[in-house]
Structure 1
Amino acid sequence: MDSLKLGDAAAAAVSKTDNRVTLDSMIAKVEATEYLWPDVMPHMTICVIRLKNGFSLVGKSAPADPENFDLDLGQKFAFEDAVRQMWPLEGYALRERMAGEA
């Protein structure tokens, strides 16, 4: 999550309004997380996150060399991949809310 936190902190530092998607707000919407390792590629980590509204996202990670597989890093990178996919969706939802206020 370090890279996500760095990006979120950089965005917060230049933010001029409260209208922004934050990492904390997205993490708070995660209701469940499950990790999978396919039999055909056991060094690949797949992370499925279910959000509180029932929507799901899938993140994945895999080292180029299977010998470099690390369980903890695989989970970390796959979860981050899923969260990164959430960012544009949350941005769209924020713009919709902002348009409704105008």
Structure 2
Amino acid sequence: MANNSEDAIEAEIQAKNLDAPRLTPAHIDEQIVSQAFHVFPGTTLTVCALTLKNGFIVTGESAAASPENFDREIGCKIARENARAKIWALEGYALRNRLAGIA
């Protein structure tokens, strides 16, 4: 799911009619077919694994510096956001290959 910053950037790109091949927040979200979370027992370390359409898995992590501040729901949100951010780089690389006629 796109965040407010991504939505604002997407709106600006569309307003400026920048229509060359590119990635969109929707495209990134369309790559995700499932998600799984794990909080390691006795820690604040939360890992999110996002499985993509092609079967590749990206992971994201989060950890509270102070155990007193740990909240599983927040940890999962941050870990998912961190995993999703990695998809941008992977999809950007794949798009650049296609544009260069490599893939």
TM-score scaled by length of structure 2: 0.83
Separation in structure 2 between the aligned mates of residue 52 and residue 9 of structure 1, nearest angstrom: 26
Q: Percent of aligned pairs with the same residue?
A: 38
Alignment of 1:7-22 (within 5 A): 7-14=6-13, 16-22=18-24
Once superposed, what is the RMSD of the aligned Cα atoms? 2.1
Report how far residue 31 of structure 1 moved.
1.0
For 2:86, the equivalent position in structure 1 comes to 85
The Cα of 1:97 is off from its aligned counterpart by 1.4
Deviation at 1:7, TM superposition (A): 3.1
Alignment length, in residue pairs?
Answer: 99
Name the CA distance, whole Å, in 1 between partners of 2:32 and 2:92: 16
Q: Which has more helix, going by share of residues?
A: 1
Look up the SS of the partner of 2:100 in the other structure: helix
The unaligned stretches of length 5 or more in structure 2 are: none
Distance 1:5 1:96, change over 3 A: farther
1:23-102 to 2 correspondence within 5 Å?
A: 23-41=25-43, 43-100=44-101
Q: Specify the code of the residue in structure 2 equivalent to 1:47.
A: C
Give the TM-score normalised by the residue count of structure 1. 0.83
1:90 and 1:83 map into 2 onto residues whose CA distance is 11
Are the aligned partners of 2:36 and 2:49 in contact in 1 as well (CA < 8 Å)? yes
In 1, Cα distance between equivalents of 2:27 and 2:98: 15
Contact 1:5 1:23 (C-alpha < 8 Å) held by counterparts: no
Give the distance between the partners of 1:35 and 1:97, measured in 2 at CA. Answer: 32
